[in-house]
Amino acid sequence: MRITRADAIFVGFILSLLLFLLFLSTRPRASPSPLPRDDAHRMARTRSECLACHDPEPPTAPYPLRSSHPQKWRDATFACTRCHPRE
Ligand code: HEC
Ligand code: HEC
């Protein structure tokens, strides 16, 4: 079988696609921000206190989590502050 010009272009295309995916995978992921240093965050101790202001489900919370937030927040045994440290 002869390697045609179209084959070479196809292989080149696949290689550049792989390189592009490799590039994407090396970029740092969004890192969680530390807690703001204000009274609300100094006082809040429990997860439900955090969710009173940040729960995305009742859209009445003043500062709901975005839908792009890591879904780990739903795990009740994993404290918010393990990702968002107090400074
Ligand atoms: C009284 C309401 C209230 C409580 C309770 C509260 N927060 Fe917040 N939080 C806010 C508001 C409003 C903001 C956005 C304004 C700011 O940065 O201060 C915010 C900002 C944040 C941010 C920074 C977001 C950013 O865009 O940088 C994080 C992280 C956060 N809160 C996590 C928590 C965690 C974890 C808890 C529980 C320990 C908590 N909050 C408790 C109201 C609250
Ligand atoms: C697995 C780690 C992790 C856990 C657990 C976690 N967060 Fe986050 N949080 C993040 C990351 C990462 C971002 C930044 C997301 C971005 O920039 O797109 C973030 C962003 C936020 C923000 C800014 C608004 C937003 O949605 O981007 C708030 C507020 C927040 N988190 C509150 C909380 C609260 C409250 C909890 C506990 C119920 C919690 N987080 C649990 C990793 C975590």
- Would the pLDDT of 84 be above 80? yes
> Using one digit for the tens of pLDDT, what is the confidence trace for 46-68?
998 999 999 998 777 899 999 88
Residue 33 has φ and ψ, to the nearest 5°, of -85, 150
Q: What is the pTM of this model?
A: 0.81
Kindly report, residue by residue over 2-47, the tens digit of the pLDDT: 889 999 999 999 999 999 999 988 877 778 899 999 999 999 989 9
Ligand 2 and 29: CB distance under 6 A: no
Chain centroid to CA 20? 20
Pocket of ligand 1 (CB under 6 A): 33, 35-36, 38, 40-41, 44, 49-50, 52-54, 62-63, 80-81, 84
Q: Rounded distance, CA 48 to CA 37, Å?
A: 19
Closest CA to 35 of 19, 18, 17, 49: 49
